[in-house]
Amino acid sequence: PSRRSLAVGVNTLILHLLGDVPSPIILGALKDAWAPDCGSIEKDGAVVLNPDCANDFHGLLLSLLFPLLWMIWSVLSYGAAAFIVQRRLRRQGHDV
């Protein structure tokens, strides 16, 4: 109990280092790989969306589908883990 606040702080730091920091970089790299023509170009002195971006529709769709599927997988994994823990606790005679 005396180090609970330190544990919460370290846990939050690790979550941010492993989740919040690399996720935009990873998703951006996936978008660049799957939809390489969807970027900005300079045309007549103005920065505009590349007109060839429409050709990368499926790449953009995959770029948006990947994090959605990752979140669904995370929720299902969490639910399965919670179910297994509750079942084990019931077998040991603990109140759940």
Percent composition of the chain: helix, strand, coil (DSSP 3-state, to 5): 75, 10, 20
* CA proximity to 31, closest of 52, 61, 75, 71: 61
Q: Are 39 and 78 in contact (CB under 8 A)?
A: no
Q: Are 78 and 38 in contact (CB under 8 A)?
A: no
pLDDT in tens, 52-83: 999 999 999 999 999 999 999 999 999 999 99
The 8-class DSSP code of residue 43 comes to E
pLDDT in tens, 30-43: 999 999 999 999 99
